[in-house]
A and B are shown apart, each in its own frame.
Chain A
């Protein structure tokens, strides 16, 4: 058979298997190797809440989709070109995500009667039952080949078979002509202290690679050339790591130590983990007894002069609500990161959603407006966290940063900047006072109060949850209260003078304005590009990073389009918010609350339906 190497602009590969099969790692290694090769990438882990869900069941299937390209890649891809299914359950759960032209690689060893029955098939022919017989089907005895590959390695059979994910990875590397050395270097670093495992993993990866070349079941392989990305130094980064780094960057710029009080919660935990690693940069992390202590230790740290942050996900933000009010009334800088997940309550904790917008906007007692920033891509979490820190410290107020599980766990290449490219952060620190220090005296520009650190002589003062007058005395005077409520709200509103104007992508005026916020950016942007390619050049996209306050030109932008369609992963929270802010416009909606990101074609169809 003639072997052909075909140039492809983009491909999506979906690795799926039992939640203990190592699919997240396999996908990550494929993504990293592609990123280092120079492709654009976007990744999407899609896994169950259970760490080792029952073996062989559909509910326990873990997936990781990688989208790589030589062109611009903004989403993990709607449907995949290659599906790796390590067992019948994985095929059952993921067949729907394959393109009609897809190749499906399956571990034939797992497709025995027991495996097929366990996955709940009605017949003994899963491929036909899933109507996949027209796909390019490759049944490879991955488990037994892995066992064979390692028979002289000294590993016991069970441990040997556990390396089968690397065999599957080797097959994919062959299919897409990926160099092996990036992954081999990973093994060398990862198993530095267990050299035997370096050789074992390298061998299985290479054997998988050569097997794919030998079986002739893969007539064509694909070459995805490096993408034309702007010149610079790049790294692959996921959203939670980028968030952690953005917070550290803000602390460094402000010259304040970073303190993070937090409690582990999916999918936010890896921010705390990343910060805990960074003792080398002086980061202090306190893994607290609960979410409330997470924010309250941070409030204490902010009072004492640190740049304080707390990281959480939806239910954790609920627990922090009362303390958020305390941070707001004491006018202390604090960044609260909410990596949103599916709710209410525990919901589907490993799945992504944008359903905490109402909570972020309104979820507190009393009049308690809090600034909200949303990140729109994994790497954008860095900048978002940086600016959340800058605004919190310079304006002396809490800021909520909304990211999403989709962003936190997803990754993409990121061009590294120098810290000198970022603006300074100058919190209004006060070191002396002529006469008594009045904690709630404000500057005219930002309406921010001054930050006086305990330990500074002559600035002794008391703050707290009770209403105060501007000089810091407790007051229940009705008019003082009303004035202070107004001053605090005006301070938050004033932030609009400091955030960038809203940009519109695509048409600057015309028929339809697509409106989005947060992690849907990649899908909305790709939909816009697809529509443009089809000749629809009268469509714009306004994707909001600044949610509260909104950019000053928001209404003006809305006025330039005949129709507005707000697309979000909830039942219409941003649309409703816009209705309260700008009731003069009519807002159409495209919503999805399935714990899954949009599919680009869903957006394209929704827009076409109103053209």
Chain B
């Protein structure tokens, strides 16, 4: 390979709290980069990491690539501008649950709606970390934080359903501790043409420690998560003894070998089906409902991208245009001569 992960480490000192989940994500991304370069023929200067504000948004400083650290909530807009200005760039937006879904919610949904070819890494720790512990749009109902001393009274977003509801073409989910999976998803994200959103459940060791432990702890992870891979049956469980089936309009858990259930009865993951119905059911699965949390690439469908459409329109119009330069434009339409 042309690069090693080391080539993507900048000379800046990483300043996240010791034990922060961001370290693992940074490492996974840096490990994915050489593979992305290999598979897509990219060189390092092609990458731009753009971010908003928050702990995760410091990420661009730690990548030895082009980087733009923006203002709170606006990373999707900044990344969109970068991509439209130069569609050959590989643009990566790093954002958090507050940055992307509170102050930046409008930009996020419109970037996804346009299907601009950028990669969005959404670090979800369900808390505002950089402002020291206030609830976020993904904090569970009732959580006690500094701004909800008696518990929140508002419902959280599920980032996956927000993405699908915005007509997203790519949604994946990983855990900060699942570095291999994150790395694998990063490559898939880079390969996807269109807005690719990856939610990474990340632990804030200071203000929301253990918020995901009911899912991420080694003892429970196998039973409470399922890694979805396109074309493979939906099997999970510590001993890969469980699977997902459709019962009417509901996804249910079945044990292989019980009640006559065989592997053939299980749902086979189709990430490429355009209808988002099944994907919507998959992103909303939760251990709270007795279903495993879906990880991996849940949806990856082909569609025209915004940047392609912009470029094609310009090319097509220029082909048949009479006006080729400013001097032509100045003399176009109604003009008259004064002698």
Q: Which residues of A line the B interface, CB within 8 A?
A: 32, 35-36, 38, 182, 226, 229-236, 245, 248-249, 252, 257, 259, 261, 278-282, 284, 286, 288-290, 292-293, 296-306, 308, 322-323, 325-326, 330, 415-419, 453-466, 473-474
Contacts and interface: CB of A to CB of B under 8 A. Distances in A.
Interface in B313-339: 313-314, 317-318, 321-327, 329-331, 333-339
Interface residues of B, number: 60
Contacts of B84: 259, 284, 286, 297, 301
Given A323-B74, A416-B330, A456-B45, A464 B81 contact: no
B298 to A, nearest CB: 25
8 contacts: A279-B321, A284-B84, A299-B81, A301-B81, A303-B68, A304-B85, A461-B67, A462-B66
B82 A462 contact: no
A473 B12 contact: yes
B162 to A, nearest CB: 15
B46 interface: yes
B70 A308 contact: no
Interface in B246-297: none
B78 A297 contact: yes
B60 interface: yes
Interface of B: 10, 12, 43-48, 50-51, 53, 60-61, 64-71, 74, 77-86, 88-89, 106-107, 109-110, 310, 313-314, 317-318, 321-327, 329-331, 333-339
B74 to A, nearest CB: 4
Contacts of A419: 325-327, 330
A416 B326 CA distance: 11
Nearest to B79: A300
Nearest to A252: B326
A322 B334 contact: no
A236 B68 contact: no
Contact of B336 (A36, A463, A466): A36
Nearest to B10: A462
A457 to B, nearest CB: 4
B334 A292 contact: no
A460 B326 contact: no
B318 A280 contact: yes
A323 to B, nearest CB: 6
A280 B48 CA distance: 29
A489 B279 CA distance: 52
A36 B338 CA distance: 10
Contact of A455 (B51, B81, B89, B106): B89
B78 A299 contact: yes
A288 B310 contact: no
Which of A182, A279, A297, A322 gathers the greatest number of chain B CB atoms within 10 Å?
A: A297
B334 A235 contact: yes
Closest 10 A-B residue pairs measured CB to CB? A300-B81, A464-B69, A280-B321, A297-B81, A296-B77, A462-B67, A304-B85, A301-B85, A454-B66, A300-B78
A298 B81 contact: yes
Given A235-B333, A473-B12, A292 B45 contact: no
Given A292-B77, A301-B81, 18 more contacts: A234-B338, A248-B326, A259-B81, A279-B317, A280-B321, A280-B323, A281-B323, A281-B329, A296-B78, A299-B81, A303-B48, A304-B82, A305-B86, A330-B68, A419-B326, A454-B47, A461-B66, A464-B67
A454 B89 contact: yes
Contacts of A248: 326, 329
B77 A300 contact: yes
A280 B317 contact: yes
Given A292-B77, A322-B71, A460-B44, A300 B335 contact: no
Contact of A296 (B12, B86, B107, B330): B107
Which of A229, A303, A418 gathers the greatest number of chain B CB atoms within 10 Å?
A: A303
A290 B89 CA distance: 25
B331 A286 contact: no
A462 B45 CA distance: 12
Contact of A279 (B68, B78, B80, B318): B318
A462 B323 contact: no
B107 A462 contact: no
A418 B329 CA distance: 11
A309 to B, nearest CB: 12
